[in-house]
Amino acid sequence: MGPMAFLVAASLAIAPPPGPSPAPSPAPSAAPAVAAAAPAAERTYLADLDVPGGTLRFVLRLAESGDATIDIPAQGIDRMPLDVSGKPDGTMVMRLPVPVPAFMELKESGDRLEGTFRQGTFSSPIAFRAGSPAKPQDPVPPLPYATRDIEVRHPAGHVLAGTLVLPAGASASARVPGVVFITGSGPQDRDESLMGHRPFLVLADALARRGIASVRCDDRGFGKSTGTFADATSDDFASDARAEFEWIAAVPEVDPARVGFVGHSEGGLVGPLAAASIERAPGAKARPAFIVLLAGPGVDGAAILKEQNTAIFRAAGTQGEVLDAIVRTHAALVDAAVAGAPDAELRALAEAAVDAQARAGGAAEAMAAGGGRAQVVEGVVGQMRAPWMVRFMRLDPAPALRALRCPALALFGERDLQVLPSQNEAPVAAALREAGVPATVRTMPGLNHLFQPARRGTLDEYATIDVTCDPAVLALVGGWILAQPPRSR
């Protein structure tokens, strides 16, 4: 579940101000663009820049030609070209081509680059060390299972492009369980790539090694999938998940009586919607045998956004009257959007919310100083009017959870600041009790929204943690799926 795109207390205004986006994302606002091919020879450096409320991971690449690019995973920036010049004393001056001027002045010292980062009124020392941003859990060939590219054709006409993973030994005479992965909010690729991590790739790898097949697809209108993302809602994504479920249930090597969903964040909302749709369908050839909800919401989206907003700013160190104003103005904006307030009223409330955040410092202050306030406000208004956002804010997950007819595993991260367990665990557990299905509901200690071991749970930490998904979660999910009985029609 991504935070509102204008919640920027814990970062700098590196990325361009958000435009009208149909969905927030963690860091979630969108998956990073596909990187260009790496040059034949380049040096890679890593730095963690201290900013108000946290840190930002920078990945700097220097080519032999003198060209340079930078990645800022937390802001979806991938290989942004830098303007590089030099001073007589050997200092490299690197300008980031962003609306609010940003510069780095760096000097080489052994295998390090040390200097200063400046943007607007913000200035901080920065030290790059030689290193690679590779994640240790990413699977490395040769792999002990088979993968192949697939296309799932939706009844509405669009095509969902994805990857089928088949464990070793799977065959028509030795069928295996199957999983459909459902991504979180914002346009996501099949691996749910964000902040330098690929959670669904890592989870699919772990499941395959335990004998579980899976399908994961790029979201409609994103990656290699066709269709339109901008006007899609959670209900549309549920119809996509259902199409993928029906597709994998027909794979000869997969047991159609042991197919289920694994949804993360918004995917934990979409999964029950898809399952409910299948349960209502007369003559369905297969029905969900299980469902796994990873940081899935238990309350409506408006409540999620309010609690998320408060938690993120509090974790960034905002307090007192400044925090009170941020919470109050944001809540008023959300309530007005839910009620369908006129544009003029919504714009005025958006201005108040952005101004309240600017007083907390960080990116909002830098944007305002750079003349970006009007763009930020219009981006917020566009977000709040987007079909996805309107539906999400009004959507109560309880009816779909109560309609489940299969076992459920619901996991939360103790340090999740996006879908807080204190707000969501009890409602999910209550709805599953009403459903009368076998259910395991658990909060995993020390983990964040991505189920990484985290110190604070803040969004800026995602990119700086090497672990993509805690091994205990990988083991728990795989073992639980294998323990579920086949589902009769």
Q: Please write the tens of the pLDDT for every residue from 199-244.
A: 999 999 999 999 999 999 999 999 999 999 999 999 999 999 999 9
Averaged pLDDT, 270-297: 96
Q: What global pTM score does this model have?
A: 0.86
Of the listed ranges 172-186, 313-327, 352-366, the one predicted with least confidence: 352-366
What is the layout of strands, in order, in the sheet containing 439-444?
Answer: 145-153, 159-167, 213-217, 176-182, 254-264, 290-294, 408-413, 439-444
**Token reading at 183:** 């991504």
| HSE-CB of 420 using CA atoms within 13 angstroms | 19
Note the pLDDT of residue 35: 33
> In the structure, what pLDDT confidence band is assigned to residue 37 with cuts at 50, 70 and 90?
very low
| Residue 137 CB contacts under 8 Å (≥ 6 apart), including other chains | 202, 205, 467, 468, 469
Query: What burial class does residue 254 get, using C-beta atoms within 10 Å of its C-beta: 0-12 exposed, 13-18 middle, 19+ buried?
Result: buried
Contact 226, 162 (CB under 8 A): no
Q: Residue 54 pLDDT more than 90? A: no
Per-residue pLDDT reduced to its tens digit, 370-398: 556 788 888 899 999 999 999 999 999 99
Alpha carbon separation from 91 to 104, 105, 110 (Å, rounded): 10, 6, 14
The fraction of the chain above a pLDDT of 70, given in percent, is 89
